[in-house]
């Protein structure tokens, strides 16, 4: 109890709490659906394809248009431009001729009530000519239906290594399934027409990418980008599902707003949202690996096939990240890695926490387990033998050196702190005695590259405004989806001036204040936007510091104010930093050692700066340094740094049902020097539990005609409280060696997700130890029926 009290006192709640924690709990947080209805506002819904592949022979909307309460029904011919896409504009907003998946939008309905919307949907007459369709990666491979260009990463001489007959060889394939985002707030947008020197739109969207909303909406309805402002206050979750696909629904609502000159609101029903939107990409990987008798991997040949669905969306970037992460934490001197995107008649799969990284990592972790079975060795030893090292064996297949490598230390720490070897022996005894249950234990690592793989997206901007009462507003391109990025930005700015966090307000994200921003994705939201906010805040602090020197030295200071901060994050403020100190709302002048310090309150200094006509606003721009990648050569330095971690998980399986229970999970992560430790621990736990669902219970079921059957909370099983490990610990190690990022921190949004593979590996371990099998083909998710078959 005393330890707990001591810990409570050590945490500054104003710094550790999520910025919207109180309003979330009290129900006062406003989401799109909570915005008050305006006079004349219309509700919008989508009439979509009931077929996975069909040609439209007849579409009659006249009867629907004539219904009471229906303000309009619109089709593709009403759009100024119909094609959109985050990489390639290949997807129609509204189908004109051929439907390619169940749930693809055909018409947009605007009405004054939900009842009128539903009546209109039933009144639309649609006649289709059914066309052949396929829904699996295997069918796409057989029919050679692919999207985009193949991707490749290669190093060394794989052919030469495989020619060595003394080495062990292993061939196999691994499948990982899709996953529904299941954000709390469905796809939602409200669009307000406005007349400010010409037609314009104000778009409020639940989106991770306001700039893309702005661009897609403007293109769709025939406006210029300066006529569209997108504002994102917050989202009720995103997980990647609102990085690109929110744009589709925003454009449909905008069409109504423009055509009828009335506010238009679309909030999808949960079942429709799940049926109409893409998921995590399923992957099928065929591989061949060569290794020595110690288990050291010498060469890997792998061909990755990603299920892209019907259109490109973000699939090329996701496939590329899967190739970048198939090595995970292991040095592979010779590698030949190829990838293709498969076309299937399903909704276009899209970004999801990890962005292809988990699908790549799952392959190598499964290979490690197979090698351990073949050689009859402990899997942890195989992992440690292959782990990236500090001064050698530290270059990835794409040519980047793994700098600031904490992996060997993390392995040593988790092995000790989790009592791995002792528990292994106890589990072996338990499995010999128990006739009803079998247990398994495994440790898996993560090495997750931080930066957008598309170099151009690694940029961000911030606007900081300081007011005469000593308070500040901050605007950036970051969007808040529950991860706490606003709280981190607030802390960075508050710390710059040594103020309480209550003095800083982070404003809703708007394309009006921060143009041309990147999506809040790739775990880079805090990195990019905190960096830009810091630079803007430091620019103002420099001006104030020079003002203070003028004040303290009766205007004799030779320093000039208004200097622009350096691009580098290690901002050296030279004399200003050494002589002027900002501390808890007071500004001090340290004239010389031992002399009495002079001071002025922060608020007084700000007022003085205003009277002296000093600029109290600053805009800053940050671009991630040191990154590049040659797509043709498959070599480069695509990541600024790596976030690393390890997890040890123990599971228990019911021999008669195949039901899995996670008994214990221990996580240790390297997050550098966290900006907000408590929020980061929350991100780790949330990512791990979400990953736990991916590897155990979350499965997408489709009918033979491509209809998603698991399209509601009653048919799709996300983890509940009983699925959380009974004993769950999270530890952050000290790492002051990361100097590349703001505050020396490391990103945390996606990297913990793949640690769920420790649960999958533990399930494998339990099955192989419980059934004495020497080879196991198990897919993700590890379904109870598959586990039961493997045990028997």
CA-to-CA distance for 332 and 387, rounded, in angstroms? 9
Q: Which residues face 628 on adjacent strands? A: 637
Q: What is d(CA 415, CA 407) in angstroms, rounded to the nearest whole number?
A: 12
Answer yes or no: do 495 and 541 share one domain: yes
Cα→Cα distances 137→146, 282, 286, 337, 342, Å: 10, 8, 12, 18, 6
What pLDDT does 773 receive? 75
Q: Based on the domain organization, do 570 and 603 belong to the same domain?
A: yes
Distance CA 639, CA 318 (A): 15
Alpha-carbon distance 662 to 697, whole Å?
12
Strand ranges across the sheet with 125-130: 98-99, 54-60, 125-130
User: Both 480 and 560 in a single domain?
Assistant: yes
With respect to residue 355, please indicate whether it lies within any of the assigned structural domains.
no
- Specify if 707 maps to a domain: yes
Distance CA 235, CA 282 (A): 26
Can you spell out the DSSP letters for 435-463?
SSEEEEEEEEEEEEEES-SSGGG-EEEEE
What pLDDT score was predicted for residue 770? 76
Please give the residue range of the domain that contains residue 479. 459-623
- Domain-terminating residue out of 623, 656, 679: 623
Question: In angstroms, rounded to a whole number, what is the distance separating the alpha carbons of residues 679 and 668?
Answer: 15
Q: Are 348 and 141 in contact (CB under 8 A)?
A: no
Say whether both 505 and 608 belong to one domain.
yes
Phi, psi of 590 (to 5 degrees): -95, 85
Q: Which residues pair with 577 in a beta bridge?
A: none
Q: What is the pTM of this model?
A: 0.94
Task: Specify burial of residue 410 (Cβ count, 10 A radius: 0-12, 13-18, 19+).
Answer: buried
Q: Is residue 360 part of a domain?
A: no
Q: Are residues 710 and 583 in the same domain?
A: no
Residues with pLDDT less than 70, the chain: 1-16, 196-198, 554-577, 591-595
* Angle at alpha carbon of residue 708, lines to 703 and 711, rounded to 5°: 135
Angle 531-537-542 from CA coordinates, rounded to 5°? 125
463 and 444 inside one domain:
no
Choosing from 580, 598, 623, the residue where a domain stops is 623
In the prediction, which pLDDT does 592 show?
63
In a domain, 408, yes or no: yes
Q: With respect to residue 154, please indicate whether it lies within any of the assigned structural domains.
A: no
User: How far is it, in rounded angstroms, from Cα 372 to Cα 444?
Assistant: 14
Asked whether residue 519 falls in the same domain as residue 589, the answer is yes
Q: How far is CA 643 from the centre of its chain?
A: 14
Last residue within a domain, chosen from 562, 588, 623: 623
Which DSSP helix (H) or strand (E) runs through 40?
Answer: none
644 and 777 inside one domain: yes
pLDDT in tens, 293-336: 999 999 999 999 999 999 999 999 999 999 999 999 999 999 99
DSSP 33: G
At 506 the pLDDT is 98
Q: How far apart are CA 182 and CA 33, in angstroms?
A: 17
Q: Are residues 644 and 743 in the same domain?
A: yes
Sign of CA dihedral 498, 501, 503, 508: positive
**615 with 719, same domain?**
no
Say how far apart CA 510 and CA 231 lie, in whole Å. Answer: 4
Q: Are residues 549 and 434 in the same domain?
A: no
> Which residue in 202, 579, 650, 750 is the catalytic one?
750
Neighbouring residues of 304: CB distance < 8 A, sequence distance ≥ 6: 283, 284, 285, 319, 322, 323, 326, 337, 338, 339, 340, 359, 360, 363
Rounded to a whole number of angstroms, the distance between the first and last alpha carbons of the chain is: 47
**351 lies in a domain?**
no
Distance (Å, whole) CA 581 – CA 573: 11
Q: What pLDDT does residue 783 have?
A: 95
CA atoms of 198 and 196, how far apart (whole Å): 5
For residues 688 and 682, give the distance between their C-alpha atoms in angstroms, rounded to a whole number. Answer: 10
Question: In the block, which residue shows the tokens 């060595």?
Answer: 164
Q: Pick from 97, 85, 130, 106: which is nearest to 311 by CA?
A: 85
pLDDT tens by residue, 283-294:
999 999 999 999
Q: Which residues contact 777 (CB under 8 A, 6 or more apart)?
A: 172, 173
Q: What is the pLDDT of residue 31?
A: 97
Rg of the chain in Å (alpha carbons)? 28
* The token pair that represents 526 in the structure block: 């805090």
Residue 28 falls within a domain, yes or no? Answer: no
480 given a catalytic annotation: no
Q: H helices of 514-616, where?
A: 525-552, 574-579, 602-611
Quick check: is 42 in a domain?
no
Model pLDDT, residue 11: 36
Q: CATH number of the domain that 703 lies in?
A: 3.30.365.10
DSSP 115-182: HHHHHHHHH-EEEEEE-----SHHHHHHHT-EEEEEEEEEES-HHHHHT-TTSEEEEEEEEE------
Structurally, how many domains does the chain consist of? 2
Do 439 and 471 sit in the same domain of this protein? Answer: no
């Amino acid at each position: 109890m005393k330890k707990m009290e001591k810990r409570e006192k050590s945490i500054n709640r104003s710094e550790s709490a999520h910025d919207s924690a109180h309003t979330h709990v009290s129900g006062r947080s406003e989401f799109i659906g909570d915005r008050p209805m305006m006079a004349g506002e219309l509700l919008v819904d989508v009439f979509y394809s009931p077929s996975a592949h069909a040609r439209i022979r007849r579409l009659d909307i006249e009867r629907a248009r004539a219904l009471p309460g229906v303000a309009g029904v619109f089709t593709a011919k009403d759009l100024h431009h119909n094609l959109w896409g985050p990489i390639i504009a290949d997807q129609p907003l509204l189908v004109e001729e051929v439907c390619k998946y169940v749930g693809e939008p055909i018409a947009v309905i605007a009405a004054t009530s939900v009842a009128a919307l539903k009546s209109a949907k039933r009144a639309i007459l649609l006649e289709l000519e059914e066309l052949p369709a396929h829904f699996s990666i295997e069918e796409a491979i057989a029919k050679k239906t692919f999207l985009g260009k193949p991707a490749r990463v290669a190093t060394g001489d794989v052919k030469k290594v495989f020619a060595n007959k003394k080495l062990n060889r292993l061939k196999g394939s691994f499948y990982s399934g899709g996953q529904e985002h299941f954000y709390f707030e469905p796809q939602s947008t409200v669009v307000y027409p406005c007349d400010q020197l010409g037609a314009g739109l104000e778009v409020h969207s639940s989106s991770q990418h306001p700039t893309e909303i702005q661009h897609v909406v403007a293109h769709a309805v025939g406006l210029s980008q300066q006529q569209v402002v997108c504002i994102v206050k917050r989202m009720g979750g995103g997980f990647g599902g609102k990085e690109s696909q929110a744009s589709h629904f925003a454009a449909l609502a905008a069409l109504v707003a423009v055509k009828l000159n009335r506010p238009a609101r679309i909030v999808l029903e949960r079942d429709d949202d799940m049926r109409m939107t893409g998921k995590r990409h399923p992957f099928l990987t065929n591989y061949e690996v060569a290794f020595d008798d110690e288990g050291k991997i010498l060469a890997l040949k792998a061909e990755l096939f990603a299920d892209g669905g019907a259109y490109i969306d973000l699939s090329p970037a996701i496939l590329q990240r899967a190739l970048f992460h198939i090595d995970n934490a292991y040095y592979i001197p010779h590698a030949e890695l190829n990838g293709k995107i498969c076309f299937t008649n399903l909704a276009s799969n899209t970004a999801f926490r990890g962005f292809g990284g988990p699908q790549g990592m799952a392959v190598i972790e499964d290979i490690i387990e197979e090698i351990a079975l073949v050689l009859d060795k402990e899997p942890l030893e195989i992992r440690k033998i292959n782990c990236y090292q500090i001064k050698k064996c530290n270059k990835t297949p794409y040519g980047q050196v793994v700098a600031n490598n904490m992996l060997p230390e993390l392995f040593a720490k988790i092995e000790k702190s989790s009592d791995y070897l002792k528990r292994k022996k106890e589990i072996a005894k338990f499995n010999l005695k128990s006739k009803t249950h079998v247990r398994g234990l495994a440790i898996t690592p993560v090495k997750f590259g931080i930066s957008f793989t598309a170099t151009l997206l690694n940029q961000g901007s911030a606007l900081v405004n300081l007011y005469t009462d000593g308070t500040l507003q901050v605007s950036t391109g970051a969007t808040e989806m529950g991860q706490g990025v606003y709280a981190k930005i607030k802390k960075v700015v508050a710390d710059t001036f040594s103020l309480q966090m209550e003095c800083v307000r982070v404003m809703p994200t708007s394309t009006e204040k921060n143009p041309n921003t990147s999506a809040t994705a790739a775990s880079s939201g805090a990195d990019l936007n905190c960096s830009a906010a810091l630079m803007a805040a430091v620019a103002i602090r420099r001006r104030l510091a020079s003002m203070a020197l003028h004040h303290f030295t009766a205007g004799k200071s030779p320093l000039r104010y208004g200097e622009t901060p350096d691009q580098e994050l290690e901002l050296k403020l030279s004399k200003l930093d050494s002589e002027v100190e900002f501390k808890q709302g007071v500004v001090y002048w340290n004239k010389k050692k031992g002399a009495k310090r002079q001071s002025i309150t922060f608020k007084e200094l700000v007022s003085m700066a205003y009277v002296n006509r000093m600029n109290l606003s600053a805009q800053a721009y940050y671009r991630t340094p040191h990154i590049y990648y040659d797509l043709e050569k498959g070599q480069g330095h695509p990541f600024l740094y790596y976030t690393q971690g390890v997890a040890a998980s123990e599971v228990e399986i019911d021999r008669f049902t195949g039901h899995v229970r996670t008994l214990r999970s221990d996580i240790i992560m390297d997050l550098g020097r966290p900006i907000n430790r408590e929020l980061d621990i929350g991100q780790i736990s949330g990512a791990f539990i979400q990953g736990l669902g991916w590897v155990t219970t979350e499965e997408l079921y489709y009918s033979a005609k491509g209809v998603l059957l698991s399209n509601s909370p009653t048919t799709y099983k996300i983890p509940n409280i009983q699925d959380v490990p009974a004993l769950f610990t999270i530890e952050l190690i000290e790492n002051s060696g990361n100097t590349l990022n703001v505050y020396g921190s490391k990103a945390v949004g996606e990297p913990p997700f793949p640690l769920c593979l420790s649960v999958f590996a533990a399930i494998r371990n339990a099955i192989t130890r419980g059934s004495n099998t020497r080879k196991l083909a198990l897919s993700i998710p590890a379904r109870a029926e598959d586990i039961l078959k493997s045990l028997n």
